[in-house]
Amino acid sequence: MSQWRWRADRTPGQDDGNESPGGPSTQVAAPGRRSARLGEELEQLVYRFHQRLIDELEAEKLESMPPDKRREAVQEAVKALLARESLNALVRDAVATRVVDEVVGLGPLEPLLHDSSISEVMVNAPDEVYFERDGIMYQSDVRFRDSDHVMQIVERIIAPLGRRVDESSPMVDARLADGSRVNVIIPPLAPKSPTMTIRKFLRSKLTMDDLVGVGTLSTEVGQFMGACAELRLNVLISGGTGTGKTTLLNALSAYIPDSERIVSIEDPLELQLQQPHVISLEARPPNVDGRGEVTQRELLRNALRMRPDRILIGEVRGGEAFDMLNAMNTGHEGSLSTIHANSPRDALARLENMVLMANLDLPVRAIREQMSSALHLVLQIARFRDGGRRITHITEVSGMEGDIVTLQDIFHFEQEGIDEHGRIIGRLEATGIRPTFAEGFAQAGISLPEGLFKNIPEW
């Protein structure tokens, strides 16, 4: 592709009888602008052939086809169209792929969405597209023609879901067919350009062994966490955005026995539970008329009537916090959930505020007593500056002292330094405190590594 240029005096989409697009360029862009210019030129070609393809294809017939047949039909039509043009092979293949993506896919975003190493895609502006790989942000050379082009892709995402986004409703959450989460915010709230953020759905579920392999936790701590799930402890996973809370919840849920009935409540669906007896419930936003909303709290109340052995809430974020604590205190032990917070203490403060959102006029002390009796553990996970996700605290909720919920760290992360590649060196160490529920493991016949809770200093 690097051998092809548009001539400087050529207008977009204009044919030149003396020079084919596959021929040499009369003007070469400066080295620093070369990649950007190639992207712009490719977009011009894609737009030109996309418009011609729209004129030749029967839109209604195309829409009635199954997705795989639709893609095949478009591919054949694009090949026939490009066969009439004097383009070199590299340009022809690039244009063909992009035109097909424009007609039946998500346009310029398709390569990023198909790259399994990318976890998140962010469109800040037509010429500002970023992605996250291994916890580190990179700027992509992917670009859109203009803001209207971004909006075309947005409409393609939300239209099948019955959602809308316009000046009267400038924010929308949606989900791609593969389960990836999409957030869109448009002008006037985002004055510069429509902005889109896609959190990709992991097709392969990470196990606890996988998390050990990438340094999120140690083997011994992984065994301890699995034992906590088997012992039916109520666990709250806390962390910031993109720290891996849902991934950790997925890995922990693998230790729930197949004999138990699990009800999961999410907004949107993300958990990949492998047990045979799972009922997945998903909250629903209001429709275009502002009706039909179903909240997580309503789903949780209904879940209590479904005879669950365990209740998993993908993320507690509102008044359902009160019902969750009630469930944990009334025979639904072993419940798991996540919360946005930066420390175990912050997690409890946020949970308290969410209970207050339920407008039940409960005294603060009563709420804290509920939390101290319902919760057993808070797992704190963080994303470090090297991109790694690590558990930083495993903290027991041990009771009440006066009006304060007491916490004690069982494990905490100790940073030892930074290596020559900028990676954080450290490990999750025992504090020497034995949790109050430790005797329950032996009573349940669950074995733990020898000396797990001992703090052995290095000499």
Q: What is the mean pLDDT of each run of 10 residues along the chain (459 residues)?
A: 32 38 36 52 74 67 69 78 75 78 88 92 96 91 92 91 85 87 94 94 82 92 95 96 92 94 91 91 82 92 94 93 91 93 96 90 93 97 92 97 96 91 90 94 92 73
Q: Is 389:383 a contact under the CB 8 Å cutoff?
A: yes
What are the residue boundaries of the structural domains of the chain, listed by start? 1-104, 110-199, 208-443
In this predicted structure, what is the pLDDT of residue 455?
A: 77
Answer whether the bond into residue 188 is a cis peptide, omega within 30°.
yes
- Rounded to a whole number of angstroms, the distance between the first and last alpha carbons of the chain is 60
In this predicted structure, what is the pLDDT of residue 64?
A: 65
Q: What is the CATH number of domain 110-199?
A: 3.30.450.370
Q: How far apart are CA 117 and CA 114, in angstroms?
A: 9
What class does CATH assign to 208-443?
alpha beta
- Give the contacts of 36 (CB within 8 A, at least 6 positions apart): 127, 141, 143
In this predicted structure, what is the pLDDT of residue 55?
A: 67
Which residue shows structure tokens 């760290």? 409
Amino acid at 135: G
In this predicted structure, what is the pLDDT of residue 308?
A: 94
Residue 350 three-state SS: helix
Tokens of 42: 């490719």
